[in-house]
């Protein structure tokens, strides 16, 4: 199985169409955090083994698998912070709808958030996965203009992984 990783150019993708789903996930994450639910607080169902875009094992042809990526967010000293941070996955250039989100509270008080993408029938042949991470303009290391409107984000990382599943 051949595996190739490379950074790709940002898509310049605006998350407006993801805004509603993000707001719903944010609201649920806030409820989970404020209720003090134990880890994991809320997890989307996954199938098979994980395929990590940063490298590692690859499922065999036709074997179910999932991709999950996202961000770890912090609780700021002035209260709860869950600004628009997100992850979007493309497979062979086509955006994939997520299967759900996973939210877990860490022991340090932070919150991990990730989008889950299930592939219950697996895949065969050579497939290119592209991950795009979008970060909040409210982040301390933000690359946004100081006057960016509330809720703005920028693409902080774009990564491509080409996998040959065989078959």
- Does residue 19 fall inside a structural domain? yes
In a domain, 14, yes or no: yes
First and final C-alpha spacing in the chain: 10
SS3 132: strand
Whether residue 145 lies inside any domain: the answer is no
Q: Which residues form the domain of 91? A: 3-139+150-164
Number of compact structural domains in the chain: 1
Buried b (16+ CB within 10 A) or exposed e, 91-106: eeeeebebbbbbbbbe
Tell me, yes or no, whether 144 lies in a domain: no
Q: Is the pLDDT of residue 133 over 60?
A: yes
Higher model confidence: residue 28 or residue 107? 107
More confident residue, 147 or 49: 49
> Is 113 within a domain?
yes
Q: Is the pTM of this model over 0.85?
A: no
80 lies in a domain?
A: yes
Please give the residue that has the higher pLDDT: either 71 or 158. Answer: 158
């Amino acid at each position: 199985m051949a595996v190739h990783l490379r950074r790709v150019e940002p898509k310049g993708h605006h998350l407006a169409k993801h805004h509603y789903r993000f707001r719903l996930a944010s609201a649920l994450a806030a409820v989970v955090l404020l209720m003090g639910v134990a880890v994991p607080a809320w997890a989307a169902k996954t199938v098979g083994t994980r395929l990590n875009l940063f490298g590692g094992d690859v499922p065999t042809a036709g074997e179910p698998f999932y991709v999950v990526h996202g961000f770890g967010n912090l609780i700021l000293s002035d209260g709860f912070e869950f600004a628009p941070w997100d992850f979007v996955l493309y497979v062979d250039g086509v955006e994939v709808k997520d299967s759900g989100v996973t939210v877990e509270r860490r022991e340090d008080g932070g919150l991990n958030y990730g989008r889950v993408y299930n592939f219950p029938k697996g895949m065969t042949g050579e497939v290119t996965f592209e991950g795009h991470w979008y970060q909040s303009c409210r982040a301390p290391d933000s690359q946004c203009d100081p006057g960016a409107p509330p809720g703005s984000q920028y693409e902080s990382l774009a990564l491509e992984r080409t996998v040959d599943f065989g078959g």
